[in-house]
Amino acid sequence: MDFDTLQPQSGPIRSPHYLPATGRNVLWGRLPCAADEAVLEVDSGDEVTIDTLSHEGILEDQGRDPLGYFRGHGVDRDHVLDDAIALAGSDYPRDRSSDGPHVVTGPIRVRGARPGDLLQMTLVEALPRVPYGVISNRHSRGALPEEYPADLETVSVFSAVDEDPDGRRVGTLPVTPGGPQVVRFPLAPFLGIMGVAVSGDTRPHSVPPGPHGGNIDINLLTAGSALYLPVQVPGALAYVGDPHFAQGDGEVALTAMEASLRVTVRFDVVEQQDALQQFGRLVGPLAETREFLVPTGLSVDLDEAVQHCVRAAIGLLGARYGMDPHLAYAYLSAATDFNISQVVDIVKGVHARIRVADFAAL
């Protein structure tokens, strides 16, 4: 399969605002807070093309040497990202014992965004930067922490990208170690991390999601979808990262098919009064796709995450459609799927899929 690797500054760059994943544009293991300075400032409605870096291939348990690591899987030098090599080889002050693994690009100040508003982040485009990804299970994490990884600290599975007979890109895996890549699954690129800065001067850990968004890992957030987040600091200070090529709901082994993307994101400020009319009072992330409204629930306890999501969905139906709470509760039980976003990020996530078409008569 022919593939043009998207090195920094090369290849298609959709927006006149471009943010490479280099130098002061990235944070590794932590997310922005109010004390951080923006690396770019834009107006509401602007699009920004942003390079994102996967953490897989640059971490210490993989040698912190992406060139050596990926060459070990048969990847040519031209297909190893220069910015990944530079970050892994730098003296970036990441504390492995206390910081997360994720690399985020930003923060971006959106003029006019104020606490009480919502920031709408719409994924306009998501382009794979490389023709491969990695799926990892490490540190006795995942849905089966007592069982996997068995006798190993880390299991990282390399997944090459190929094309099906119709020319669509697919991920591939073998059924036995070292065997032919016979398992093929569709790609649906999205950002695991989309967020806004928290108030205060302490950068939050990159793993647990929260009202700021962050590592929410909702696989519905593919190109054309939007995430709404309550603004916590003036200018919002938005960021993106944790790029995925594919993920199943639950992300049970710990990571998805992690791989670097070049994304274009549009940033829109929804002022407080309009936000209340459209969505009610949001206390956490809300996603929207062409088909669904997607309220979320977050908690370290999965049962509580479901309850938070149901309450958010009832509130959303009341604000958007004027639906009585007990009727909304009935509708959700009869017609709405509640999916587990992920169970591996300390704070577990649940999201609902409310079909917009069900309310077309209103």
Q: Please state, in angstroms and rounded to a whole number, the distance separating the CA atoms of residues 281 and 271.
A: 12
In this model, does residue 259 exceed pLDDT 90? yes
Opening angle at CA 275, ends 270 and 279, nearest 5: 130
pLDDT at residue 151 above 90?
no
Domain residue ranges in the chain = 18-271, 291-359
More confident residue, 139 or 117: 117
Q: What is the DSSP letter of 203?
A: P
- Which amino acid would we find at residue 107? P
- Mean pLDDT of all residues in 72-77: 96
pLDDT in tens, 87-98: 999 999 999 899
Whole-number pLDDT of residue 1: 83
As a CATH number, domain 291-359 is 3.10.28.20
pLDDT at residue 141, rounded to an integer? 87
Number of H helices, E strands in the chain: 5, 20
- Answer yes or no: is pLDDT of 150 > 90: no
* Tokens encoding 12: 């298609």
**pLDDT (average), residues 215-237:** 98
Can you give the pLDDT at residue 140? Answer: 81
Whether 136 contacts 13, CB under 8 Å: no
Q: What is the pLDDT of residues 308-327, one digit of tens each?
A: 999 999 999 999 999 999 99
CATH number of 18-271: 2.60.120.580
Q: In this structure, are residues 77 and 69 in contact, taking their beta carbons and an 8 Å threshold?
A: no
Percent of the chain at pLDDT above 90?
95
Kindly report whether the global pTM for this prediction surpasses the value 0.85. Answer: yes
Helix, strand or coil, per DSSP, at residue 67: helix
pLDDT of residue 27: 98
Q: What percent of the chain shows pLDDT beyond 70?
A: 100
